[in-house]
Structure 1
Amino acid sequence: MSARVTVVGSANVDLVTRVDRIPAPGETVTAESFAVFAGGKGLNQAIAARRAGAQAQLIAAVGDDAYGQLLVDTIATEGMDKNLLRREGGATGTAFVTTDATGENNIVIVPGANRLLRHLTDEERELVSESDVLICQLEVPDTVVEDAVTAAWKSGTKVVLNPTPVRHVPAAILAAVDVLIVNEHEAQQLQVDKLPVPCVLTTLGSKGSTLQVRGGRAIHIPARKTIPLDTTGAGDTFVGAFAAEVARGVEYEAAAQWASIAASLSVEEPGAVPSIPTRRAVDDALGPKREENQ
């Protein structure tokens, strides 16, 4: 099976400071380190799907600055089509990430060029239509998300929506969603049990995740035990890995189990993109678990 995944979403540069503890309001702390990484939910999820074995592509917008070139180079290095990244005038999207000694973080995003991704071209709609799975998030305007999910719905492409940063999701977008992936805080804010979507996957950090298919019982997906270093990008790794498995024809529960292992591996390394595991790494981590179940 071809396992084609298209991501329509954001591309940012992550400016990451590492501190012993995240400062309280009004407090100043000294960082232990500072690093610059490629990131953004769209880019992270596309690379996660790619490293999981899918034929993944990213439709996004970056600025005409040095950060934009960094993201173009990153996409090309991953074997994806860099020409699908639009070069817009002005600044590339930027995320300011503070990570503490426990691996927890807080993030402030400056959208930059992501705000300019408002509609898809005919060629981009065709790419979505030819895909097995479409992934969208909400770090780009609703207009382009609606464009993408409409093209997917018309062609039978499965739609995975990660509604973050959390905000009201227009009915026209929700109507085309096959799987909604949220964390527990987003689930509460959106009241996902009342949303008209066929399937909701809720990630619970170290407690794993739950899969709720409409009309069925909730299924708990346990988490792999790990010692987190940096949780930045773990949710994106989960989304991209899950979509890649679904694109391969894997059932939702098994896809979520595989994605959970991928996400657990990602928190053991610093940075979003550098920490995303390959398919081989996930399969190797699954090896002992498979043997236990035999």
Structure 2
Amino acid sequence: MITVFGSLNVDLVTPVERLPGAGETVMGPGYALHPGGKGANQALAARRAGAEVVLAGAVGRDAFAEIALSLLAADGVDLALVERVEAPTGAAFIAVDAAGSNQIVVAAGANAQARADGLHDLSLGQRNILLLQREVPETECIIAARLAKQAGGRVILNLAPAGSPAPELLDCLDMLIVNEHEALVLARALGWAEREPDAFAQRLDAEHGIACVVTLGGEGVVGWHGGVRRRLEAPKVEVVDTVAAGDSFVGAFAAALDAGCGFSGALQRGLAAGSLACTVPGAQPSVPRRAEIEALAGASFL
């Protein structure tokens, strides 16, 4: 089983010809409203990839809450630990340009009140994976991580948005998933000279005993686990937008580990999921299902 402690949002997505610069206004023809949030996206991605998933987090008591929960409920994610609080449901404002690149501004809303207390009621154990991100309070993430480690489970942190996690959280991690920018931010925070993703991942694995995965966009992924390097190229797809590509990677990667795949097999499935997400617009609507993932992973890594 995978337990996700993380954010739930609604995403307001606007297509634009190009992304705006500082102080600039760029017009779009309209917008779409989708469920999103890194915690919710990754929970849905893991569920669609075949895992049993529990999501813990918070939404408001507003109409946006129903949108934020809609696809999760439809796909069978356990939402018993999602609390209703007196704050607006979180929201993300996303601009996507003609090349599929995006800019995102997130308003935390109810996510700032997410609490890990409910995890005490779960039967966490050695076969469980706890999946974390950085859109809910870090103090609560530390509580969740300690509960998981005390039960003998594995803890995976997706360091998004970028930042430097508290040492108490790093001490609980089994795996860290970052993109190139997030890797650079953490390397600087740790006082490391490494600027290449490969070197950063190797050092984190060697010195901290934390397996590290660095996603490289269209170039694929590099990972270090137990002193062994894996480098995989991404499948070639036609990119519509990259929203939720990273979350699809993380969820499918965790689901593959939960299903008993090794590190390399999990990377393959994560890459396939992330690539497929780029072919469909929006966040959660773009998250692929297990059959699609397995088909692309099989075709790409024969």
TM range (shorter): over 0.9
Q: In the alignment, what sits opposite 1:73?
A: 70
- Aligned-pair CA distance for 1:166: 1.6
- Residues in 2 aligned to 1:81 and 1:183: alpha-carbon distance in whole angstroms: 28
Alignment of 1:30-109 (within 5 A): 30-109=27-106
The question of whether the paired residues in 1 share the 8 Å contact of 2:11 and 2:93 is answered with yes
Give the aligned partner of residue 214 of structure 2.
Answer: 202
8 A contact 1:46–1:56 mirrored in 2: yes
2:293 paired residue number = 282
Q: CA deviation at 1:83?
A: 2.5
TM-score normalized by the length of structure 1: 0.92
Q: Is the 8 A contact 1:160 1:181 kept in 2?
A: yes
In the aligned structure 2, how far is the partner of 1:172 from the partner of 1:24? 37
Give the gaps of 5 or more residues in structure 1: none
Query: Retained in 2: the 8 A contact 1:119–1:143?
Result: no
CA contact (8 A) 2:120 2:147 kept: no
Secondary structure of 1:185's counterpart equals helix
Q: Give, in angstroms, the shift of residue 26 of structure 1.
A: 2.4
Using the TM superposition, give the Cα deviation of residue 29 of structure 1 relative to its aligned residue in structure 2, in angstroms: 2.0
Residue type of the alignment partner of 1:225:
K
Partner residue, 2:110: 113
- Cα pair 2:18 2:97 within 8 Å, conserved: yes
For 1:157-236, list aligned pairs within 5 A. 157-191=153-187, 192-193=200-201, 195=204, 196-216=208-228, 218-236=229-247
Instruction: Give me the whole-angstrom Cα distance separating, in 1, the residues matched to 2:61 and 2:8.
Output: 13
Decide whether the 8 Å contact of 1:6 with 1:131 is kept in 2: no
The answer to whether the Cα contact below 8 Å between 1:6 and 1:127 also exists between their aligned partners in 2 is no
TM-score w.r.t. the length of structure 2 is 0.90
Q: Which residue of 1 aligns with 2:190?
A: none
Instruction: Give how far 1:69 is off.
Output: 1.9
Shift of 1:7: 0.3
C-alpha contact 1:118 1:143 (8 A) present in aligned 2: no
Pick which of 25-34 and 262-271 moved more: 25-34
State the alpha-carbon separation in 2 of the partners of residues 127 and 169 from structure 1: 26
Are the aligned partners of 1:224 and 1:264 in contact in 2 as well (CA < 8 Å)? yes
Say whether residues 1:137 and 2:133 are aligned partners. yes
Alpha-carbon RMSD: 1.6
Structure 1 contact 128–134 (Cα < 8 Å) conserved: no
For 1:146, which of 142, 145, 162 is the aligned residue? 142
CA contact (8 A) 2:35 2:70 kept: no
Matched-pair identity in %: 40
The 3-state SS of whatever aligns with 1:82 is strand
Is 1:270 aligned to 2:281, yes or no? yes
Match for 1:172: what amino acid? E
Counterpart secondary structure, 1:250: coil
Query: Contact 1:136–1:160 at 8 Å: present in 2 too?
Result: yes
Aligned with 1:255 (options 260, 263, 266): 266
Paired residues of 2:15 and 2:97 also in contact (CA < 8 A): yes
Q: Could you tell me whether the CA contact under 8 Å between 2:268 and 2:297 is conserved in 1?
A: no
Note closer, same or farther for the CA distance 1:40–1:197 as it changes in structure 2 (3 Å cut). farther
Three-state SS of the structure 2 residue aligned to 1:134 is: strand
Instruction: Give yes or no for contact 1:180–1:201 (8 Å, CA) kept in 2.
Output: yes
1:175 is matched by which residue type in structure 2? Answer: D
